[in-house]
Amino acid sequence: MRRLMAILLVFCLVFFGHAHGARTDDPYSAYHGGDYATALKGFLALAEEGNSSAMNNLGLIYANGLGVAVDFAAARSWFEKAASQGHLGAINNLGGMYELGQGMPRNYEQAAHNYAIAAKHGLSDAQYNLGALYEAGKGVPNDLLQAYLWYSLAAKQDDADAAAARDRIGAKIDPNLRNQATTFVNSWKPPQ
């Protein structure tokens, strides 16, 4: 998985931390202050209230060993709880665990399945990850046109790595197919 879960954790903590407002007991603020025990306690409280972002963040904390020992079983459990509520980041993160074989046997088919769910709803990291699996032929057929489509959709969201991958793959695809794919990408919108 190209995107490390730690990067997503920082995004979630910054984005959702601001969305929840900064309080001294806020788990997002505690995390930024390096107080992982308080962050963990706060995320647990929010998760018990059904907050899927907190559940996803707990998964990231356990997957990356931030203030706790790395615990892939706990990470998977929290990701699954958040994913069951439709949290796209958690669905993508589960895909990463399947792809990397973290705490479970490596399963590219399941990784592709998870990435596809989040990618079809517009999550650029999942779009990139799915493109990478199509490019490598892992869990899905080796299909450069599909890789080009998914990389292009992620690049449309200002993902520089996806744009570079799209351009690299695009040089290998028939120009007519590439143009048709580009037309599709330009008109594509995720479901509401």
Residue spans of the domains in the chain: they are 1-85, 124-192
Q: Are 59 and 91 in contact (CB under 8 A)?
A: no
Q: Where are the alpha helices (DSSP H) in the chain?
A: 5-20, 27-32, 36-48, 52-64, 72-84, 88-100, 108-120, 124-136, 144-155, 160-170, 175-187
CA distance 120 to 113: 11
Phi, psi for 65 (deg, rounded to 5) = 65, 45
Return the pLDDT at 84.
98
Record the pTM: 0.85
Contacting residues for 115 by C-beta, under 8 A, at least 6 apart: 92, 95, 126, 129, 130, 133
Q: What is the pLDDT along the chain (192 residues), one digit of tens a residue?
A: 555 454 445 444 444 444 444 444 799 898 788 888 899 999 999 999 999 999 999 999 999 999 999 999 999 999 999 999 999 999 999 999 999 999 999 999 999 999 999 999 999 999 999 999 999 999 999 999 999 999 999 999 999 999 999 999 999 999 999 999 999 999 999 887
Quote the crossing angle between the two packed helices 175-187 and 144-155, to the nearest 10°: 40
CA distance 108 to 159: 23
